């Protein structure tokens, strides 16, 4: 940790002051940032504070170029990306994560369960036992959702969760129980390749293979950026 200096607001009814530090190449601000990693207040990424538009330096110990202030964007907006670049990002995120949450519908409302997956040719493959509630729900209503999420990289301790380097993909579509022996074998091969586990012949007879036919997918990434600068990826698989 390197102490960079101190900043304060220049246009605020209630003045605020923060200490600024550099941690693992990124700059953060906090009321007691100089105590890192024993700070009691969470740190905030310096770029999120819109330096120098709303803040000024009161002390500088180390010369570092602060992230440039940017014109305020419309609140709640993301940079939307469509087409092939969006599909490539979605597939990239899927390749990094092994599990997700499958959402079905029962008589009381949403029914969500954690499950692992493999992706291939615009479909998600999952597996489960020969009997169970989710099989009954799929037979009753094939419409489903699936969410994959996690961190794209480790972040320093005591950093606000809203600034984590997260990534997620949300899918909507339909799900079915495969009855095709060749499709089941191909799905098991895709699953074993994704997880790096040995392929077992005859395993298809012991389990059910679920095939999630993707209609749409939405991916989001957050990389220590203000909300207005995060990216939102849309792709229509149907």
What is the model's pTM? 0.65
Q: 106, 143 in Cβ contact below 8 A?
A: no
Cα–Cα separations (whole angstroms), residue 170 to 100, 194, 211, 218, 227:
10, 19, 16, 5, 18
Reported as half-sphere exposure (CB side, CA atoms, 13 A), residue 194 has a value of 23
Cα–Cα distance measured from residue 206 to residue 139, given in angstroms and rounded to the nearest whole number: 19
In the CATH hierarchy, which fold is given to the domain comprising 79-236? Pnp Oxidase; Chain A (2.30.110)
Looking at per-residue pLDDT, the higher value among 95 and 164 belongs to 95
What is the per-residue pLDDT across 196-212, written as a single tens digit (0 to 9) for each?
776 666 676 778 889 99
CA distance 74 to 79: 11
Please tell me the predicted confidence (pLDDT) of residue 100.
94
Query: Does 151 score more than 90 pLDDT?
Result: no
Percent residues over pLDDT 70 in the chain? 76
3-state secondary structure 48-86: HHCCCCCEEEEEECCCCCCCCCCCCCCCCCCEEECHHHH
Lowest mean pLDDT across 30-39, 154-163, 170-179, 208-217: 154-163
pLDDT(168) > 70: yes
- Domain positions in the chain are 2-60, 79-236
Amino acid 73: pLDDT: 41
Q: Encode 199-230: b = buried (16+ Cβ within 10 Å), e = exposed.
A: eeeeebeeebbbbbbbeebbbbbbebbbeebe
What is the pLDDT at residue 214?
93
Query: Is the distance from CB of 195 to CB of 116 less than 8 angstroms?
Result: yes
The answer, yes or no, to whether residue 236 has pLDDT greater than 80, is: yes
pLDDT at 232 over 50: yes
Residue 231 dihedral angles phi and psi, to the nearest 5°: -110, 145
Pairing of strands 26-30, 17-23: antiparallel
* Mean pLDDT along residues 8-31: 78
Where residue 8 falls (left for φ over 0; alpha for ψ -120 to 50; beta otherwise) is beta
Give the pLDDT score at 217: 93
**Tens of pLDDT along 117-129?**
989 888 999 988 8
C-beta atoms surrounding 97 within 10 Å: 17
Query: Tell me, what's the pLDDT at 65?
Result: 56
């Amino acid at each position: 940790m390197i102490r960079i200096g101190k900043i304060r607001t220049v246009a605020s009814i209630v003045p605020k002051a923060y200490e600024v530090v550099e941690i693992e190449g990124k700059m953060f601000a906090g009321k007691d940032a100089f105590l890192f990693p024993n700070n009691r207040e969470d740190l905030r990424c310096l770029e999120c504070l819109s330096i120098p538009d709303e803040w000024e330096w009161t002390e500088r110990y180390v010369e570092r170029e602060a992230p440039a202030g940017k014109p305020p964007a419309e609140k709640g907006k993301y940079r939307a990306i469509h087409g092939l670049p969006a599909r490539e990002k979605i597939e990239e995120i899927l390749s990094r994560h092994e599990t997700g949450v499958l959402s079905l519908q029962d008589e009381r409302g949403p029914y969500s369960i954690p499950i692992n997956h493999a992706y291939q040719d615009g479909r998600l493959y999952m597996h489960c036992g020969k009997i169970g509630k989710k099989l009954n729900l799929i037979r009753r209503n094939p419409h489903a959702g699936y969410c994959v999420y996690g961190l794209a990289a480790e972040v320093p301790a005591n950093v606000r969760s809203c600034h984590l380097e997260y990534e997620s993909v949300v899918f909507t579509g339909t799900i079915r129980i495969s009855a095709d022996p060749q499709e089941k074998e191909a799905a098991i091969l895709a699953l074993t390749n994704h997880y790096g586990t040995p392929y077992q012949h005859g395993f298809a007879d012991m389990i059910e293979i679920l095939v999630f036919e993707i209609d749409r997918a939405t991916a989001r990434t957050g990389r220590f950026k203000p909300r207005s600068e995060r990216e939102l990826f849309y792709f229509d698989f149907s």
